[in-house]
A and B are shown apart, each in its own frame.
Chain A
């Protein structure tokens, strides 16, 4: 399978990365090189093979559903590019 420049632009939109027309053209070639490389997997017979979901067999650890952490709002917003009163500030999203 290969991608065209429009597909690259659509995927970039999904990934929320702005790309110029030049970027998209260049990336199309690069992505097709990678997709061409992974095409080798078509040679493998995967009939009846289960996907690997965990490399180490173990049952998922569980803990009681309780509050174990918190009251550190100022720590959490400490690195924010914009914040006010322990809230993250973003451009207006609702008119």
Chain B
């Protein structure tokens, strides 16, 4: 029998319909992989095997009658940031110890309504703050990829590191993830998977633990562009419970796959060519340009002069919003409580013990930039810079550009506990240099695996689109995928 965990979602969808196998068989195959691999990779923080089997049986009953939704019987992993009723939901923080919500996030509700099966909750950086999955209370996730001839542990990127590693190591068919500054696209690039952050407002944020509300957006990580299109179609919706979700029809994203890119205008922004960028990344970018040119797209040079200011502005806006959102964790309504001599000391002790170092750092930065007398100098200025960043993109669209091609990350995956990166918080932040502009402008962005580094590690290319033009990203992303082929880590685990 074929290894069911090697199937794409699109293939499994057909196989389940034709009754080549059942959802229970498919689900059991993934549970087997999780049990074999999780000790080494640490991708899951909670495995819901019984629930998964129950959901799979229910799907099989529907499939037997020729019924079922778009994801009927497809086993998925869920990032720990999404509220799942009665199941571990802690944003991988100590401060949410034992939290099991009495409600379900809108995104996961949509997935279950379409028939998907939940395998468990995936590891992530604490409160989605990090680029290496090392800030998780549950310890780092290990990337299934290793350098050629090396057995050094590498990070899978972050914050959706568990999601990306679980997909890459065949511990789920696809996963939910979230992206505030690059948290879907950077881990996708580091693991040879596809990740899309849709337009702000495309997916409801209801039931997603809040980090920076004006930037946070949910999206999928999957093996192929088609699979990510299938997942996003189910995840996206307008929602009365999130006033920032947008009432625009969710198109059939799959219909865009295989469409010619002939005549599409692809912008290449000069400002993304950074000093000291590794040759690997430059070569990959050039390959991407050549592939799209060969496929009939028109390549145009564009300029986005405010690119370099996106990351510094982000490190004002995101911590400011985080400091406000995370004020709710006070030891009163949920999670951890550490006693003190009075209520103020109880708050202070709880938050000191409950939050990790990176989260504290961002809360302090956020509190400082919002404190009396500094609002105009920091937050207001950053929001003005954000307008300029968005204007750079608007100008490109006005000049007829359909999508923008850039590298996804400035490097391939790095080592766990990298001394250099941990010596200065800003060095870690630079991982998001190519992805963060997209969040600041609220645009959709996809990372597609496009090649390997000299060391044999996966690298991704990013495509940025106009608001609600995710279809264009799937269309162009598929051309890159077709040209680049797919990438699978050589199995050393499990």
* Residues in A lying within 8 Å of B, measured CB to CB: 1, 3, 7-8, 11-12, 14-19, 27, 30-31, 33-35, 37-41, 43-44, 46, 49-56, 58, 60-61, 63, 72, 75-82, 88, 90-93
Give 10 new A-B contacts, CB below 8 A, not counting A17-B364, A40-B309, A55-B442.
Answer: A12-B364, A27-B364, A37-B315, A38-B316, A41-B316, A51-B380, A61-B243, A88-B332, A88-B333, A90-B346
Contact of B333 among A7, A52, A80 (CB under 8 A): A80
Interface flag for B254 (CB, 8 Å) = no
Mask, B322-361, CB within 8 Å of A = 1, is 0100010011111111011011111111011001000011
Name the B residues within 8 Å of A18 (CB-CB). 345, 348-349, 351-352
Contact of B388 among A46, A55, A56 (CB under 8 A): A46
Name the B residues within 8 Å of A76 (CB-CB). 102, 333
Say how far A26's CB is from chain B's closest CB, in angstroms. Answer: 9
For this complex, 17 residue pairs linking A to B, each with C-beta atoms less than 8 Å apart, are A15-B363, A16-B347, A16-B351, A17-B363, A18-B349, A30-B361, A31-B361, A34-B426, A41-B385, A51-B387, A54-B244, A56-B244, A58-B201, A61-B240, A76-B333, A82-B337, A91-B342
Name the A residues within 8 Å of B147 (CB-CB). none
Residues of A contacting B: mostly: loop
User: What's the Cα separation between A34 and B363 when bound, in Å?
Assistant: 13
Name the B residues within 8 Å of A55 (CB-CB). 200-201, 214, 390, 441-442
Interface flag for B57 (CB, 8 Å) = no
Residues of B contacting A: mostly: helix
A57 (CB) vs chain B CBs: closest residue: B467
Contact of B381 among A16, A37, A41 (CB under 8 A): A41
User: What's the Cα separation between A46 and B380 when bound, in Å?
Assistant: 10
Say how far B95's CB is from chain A's closest CB, in angstroms. Answer: 11
Say how far B358's CB is from chain A's closest CB, in angstroms. Answer: 10
Name the A residues within 8 Å of B102 (CB-CB). 72, 75-76, 78-79
User: What's the Cα separation between A61 and B242 when bound, in Å?
Assistant: 9
Interface flag for B484 (CB, 8 Å) = no
Name the A residues within 8 Å of B363 (CB-CB). 15, 17
User: What's the Cα separation between A19 and B364 when bound, in Å?
Assistant: 11
Name the A residues within 8 Å of B340 (CB-CB). 91
